[in-house]
């Protein structure tokens, strides 16, 4: 779980990198030949989306408490 804004920003950068990498693989290998690699990247992207969402949600809860 992300605990501070630095980790949040790093996760956003990693997400952007993975999305670009996936797009490149899909352009270069449109057929399912790289399926495991693409699936793994999609799984990492989903994990980052979850972590970013949890962090954003916790920030909203903290802001509501103030």
Total of domains in the chain: 1
Helix (H, G, I), strand (E, B) or coil at 8: helix
Q: Which residues contact 1 (CB under 8 A, 6 or more apart)?
A: 51, 54, 55
pTM metric for this prediction: 0.78
CA distance 17 to 33: 21
Q: Which domain holds residue 47?
A: 5-65
CA distance 53 to 45: 12
Widest distance between CA atoms in the chain: 52
Helix (H, G, I), strand (E, B) or coil at 31: coil
**Per-residue pLDDT of the chain in tens (66 residues, 90 and over written 9):** 889 999 999 999 999 999 999 999 888 887 776 667 888 999 999 999 999 999 999 888 777 776
């Amino acid at each position: 779980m992300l605990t501070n804004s630095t980790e949040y920003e790093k996760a956003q950068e990693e997400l952007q990198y993975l999305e670009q990498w996936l797009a490149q693989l899909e352009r270069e290998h449109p057929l399912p030949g790289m399926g495991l690699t693409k699936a793994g990247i999609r799984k990492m992207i989903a994990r980052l989306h979850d972590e970013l969402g949890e962090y954003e949600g916790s920030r909203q809860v903290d802001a509501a408490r103030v």
